[in-house]
Amino acid sequence: MSAPRRRTRTAPAGTVVAYVRVSTDEQVASGAGLEAQRAAIEAEAGRRGWTVVGWHADEGISGGKAIEARPGLTAAIEAIEDAKASVLMVAKTDRVARGLRTLLDVIDRAERAGGAVVSVDGTIDTSSAAGRFQTQVMGGVAELERAMISDRTKAALAIKRAQGVRLGRPSTLPREVVIRIVEARGRGASLPAIAAELTAGGVPTAQGGAKWYPSTVRAVLNGQDAERVRTEAAA
């Protein structure tokens, strides 16, 4: 993840960079989801007397993906960090992220740069004192969640070791690749099919190789990172 940049100059108050997202090809093709989000953002910005100075979109991308895997969201955050806008606005909080930790990362980067994050549905508004307090509470919940997941992961790994299961070392693969492999296997995809998909997609192996093999996929699935992903998913 890229390091947050602190603002060295100030964006004009009430300037908005808008972010919209749809997750399926059908939504992208229809355009309905994007247009509804744009209309909601424009209406809310107008109500507050703010000006939308830029738009960024991620089309056909899941809200569960990391910030760096979403070029539209990355560009929107960087607009705040580069003082091109003072507010990052979305129609709904889930357009930013499906998970609390990613949402808090976005808010943190915006606030470090002196900006705010606002959702039209009212669930997030760090431009107000009450909204910032709500974010602090959410941060505490996320910290507790991380600690509980860590405890469950350690317990699960200890049980597997006690059962004689040999777990591989932590992977050097990006987390989103490990998640992709675990989810594909969970859907019933075979090891050869997963290997073929990763190879076709140009995803490098942990060693930087261009070709995946069933044995390579199996090693990832048997590793500690995959076990953590499975534990978190079951949480």
Q: What is the pLDDT of residues 71-112, one digit of tens each?
A: 999 999 999 999 999 999 999 988 998 777 788 899 999 999
% of the chain residues with pLDDT over 90 = 42
Indicate whether 62 and 36 sit together in one domain: yes
- Residue 198 to residue 219: CA distance in whole angstroms: 14
Interacting residues of 81 by C-beta distance below 8 A, sequence separation 6+:
4, 5, 6, 7, 109, 113, 115
Domain count, the chain: 2
Indicate whether 29 and 116 sit together in one domain: yes
Indicate whether 39 and 88 sit together in one domain: yes
Among the three residues 96, 127, 158, which one is the final residue of a domain in this structure? 127
Per annotation, catalytic residue among 23, 86, 127, 171: 23
pTM over 0.75: no
Indicate whether 103 and 26 sit together in one domain: yes
Indicate whether 206 and 123 sit together in one domain: no
Q: Give the CATH number, domain containing residue 43.
A: 3.40.50.1390
CB 118 within 8 A of CB 126: yes
Q: What is the pLDDT of residues 26-35, one digit of tens each?
A: 466 555 689 9
Domain residues for the domain of 202 are 145-234
Question: Is 23 one of the annotated active-site residues of the chain?
Answer: yes
